[in-house]
Amino acid sequence: MAASKETNAKVRVSVLDVAEGTIEYSYSPRSVRVTVEALSSRRLPVEVKYLAAPPLGYAYGDPVLSPASVSVSGKSTEVARVKRIVLTLPAKNANGPVDDKFDVVAVDEPGQDCRRSKPGYEASTA
């Protein structure tokens, strides 16, 4: 993935909602320097992770998911951290068809939940 696009900007500080001439005020600093990072988004397929082995003599078939992918968007550096989208199917649902709603989790390269280590992305099914 391409390097993150960041830029530094000097932003002027101003005081709002003060009726001119009614009170005297001063403030500091008059400006602040901020780093602005580009936003990005991408679609990733949803992977199913089974928490239980199938019953003896059976094998899991290919899951049918709706939607089958999600859009991940946010700061470019955070979106780049997301390597996979995982839906974990609990053991209680492993023995037959499942028609339910499950949360998906964005994970990084080692498989850690990206939300636990550093916020800054959003995943949606839109």
Predicted pLDDT at 80: 93
Tell how strand 31-37 and strand 39-50 pair up. unpaired
pLDDT value of position 90: 78
Q: Beta strands 84-89 and 39-50: pairing type? A: parallel
Report pLDDT for 93: 54
The mean pLDDT value for 1-9 works out to: 68
pTM over 0.85: no
pLDDT at residue 117 greater than cutoff 70? no
Domain residue ranges in the chain: 39-124
Mean pLDDT confidence for 5-16 = 85
Look at residue 57 in the predicted model and tell me its pLDDT: 86
In Å, how far from its chain's centre is CA 70? 10
Class of domain 39-124: mainly beta
List CB contacts of 65: < 8 A, sequence separation 6 or more. Answer: 46, 48, 87
